[in-house]
Structure 1
Amino acid sequence: MVEASDYRNAMSLLTTAVNIITTASETGQHGFTASAVCSVTDSPATLLVCMNQSSRSHQYFIENKVLSVNVLSSQHESLSNAFASSQLSAEQRFGLAQWGKLKTGCPVLKDALVSFDCEIEQIQQVGTHSIFICRVVAIQQSSQEESLVYFNRSYHQVNAKEEV
């Protein structure tokens, strides 16, 4: 059996996009920073998001059955940290940026690299996390050209115009 610490150390070497996942209802706006997001299929447009069940906003995502995936650009490092912090309230977090809405009413970061507005179609519990299988119902893209990624426990920027 693989030790949890060995697994976490190995996974830190998997470069991932940094995202802020949001939801909203009459209970207010809620969100968290996530790297565990990926495409499932393009027909129908579907992605998945993994969320720790111990997160203080977990129940809101379960109840609301909608979410928005906001893919961060290089300028959003401090916003990513704010949404990962347990020290800030939801109001304080959302007050740090400009937000809009698409079809579901979830907060969409106005200058995100891209935002996927989604309806949660399935929820699977695996260990400590919930996996949300989400149908994409709207997309908003910006003109940002640098992505914020996480690799080896630190942030990095990827520029779309850099040559290899």
Structure 2
Amino acid sequence: MSSIPELFRHLTAGVYVIGVANGERRDAFTASAVMQVSFSPLLVALGISAAHESYTLLHEADGFAISVLSAQQQELAKHFGTQSGRTVDKLASTPWRPGVTGAPLLRDALAHFECRVVNDIEAGDHRLVLARVIDGAIARPNGQPMLYAQTGNLDGSESLYPATFS
């Protein structure tokens, strides 16, 4: 029998860096809980812990950017996923540019989406943020997106799963 973390790694998900900004304050974090939820209007959903410093910026500014990572950018996923924006300027060592919302877009990403928040609801130990996609582009059309299953326990999530189903 497989473990719960192993089981959930079979849900196909990409790996992204989410950029947030409010005025001159900027941050970015790694996320895999991103999905398209509507075609008309174009809506995406983002799962984020309200305890993250980035959530405060996202909530205050009502927008964010999604940078799609390639399969070769595991170190970038680790960089943005294992440090706190409260103590480290994670963007200082990574080339980026501000998008139309001001949120950081990683220059080496495969593609990007820019989003405006339309709803924010409680979802267990996270918040589910629904957002309208207002801009986006493909930067590297031949690149292969990173899959969450390829990251192993990079995000430390194994310790967050319950031992059994309830």
TM-score (norm 1): 0.81
Structure-2 change in CA distance of 1:41 and 1:90 (3 Å): farther
Give the whole-Å Cα distance in 2 for the aligned partners of 1:90 and 1:39.
Answer: 30
> Which of the residues 90, 100, 103 maps onto 1:103?
100
Q: Aligned residues, how many?
A: 149
Offset of 1:110 from its aligned partner? 1.5
Contact 1:13 1:152 in 2 (8 A): no
Identity of aligned residues (%): 25
CA contact under 8 A between 2:53 and 2:84: conserved in structure 1?
A: no
1:6-155 alignment runs, 5 A limit = 7-26=4-23, 28-86=25-83, 89-91=87-89, 93-143=90-140, 144-151=142-149, 154=152
CA RMSD of aligned residues (A): 2.0
Structure 2 spans left out of the alignment, 5+ residues:
154-166
* TM-score w.r.t. length of structure 2: 0.80
> Is residue 102–residue 117 contact of structure 1 (8 Å, CA) maintained in 2?
yes
* 1:97-135 alpha-carbon deviations (Å, 9 max, x no partner): 211122211111112111100101100111110011010
In structure 1, the gaps of 5 or more residues are: 1-5, 156-164
Could you tell which deviates more after superposition, 56-65 or 146-155?
146-155
Partners of 1:35 and 1:110 in 2: CA distance: 19
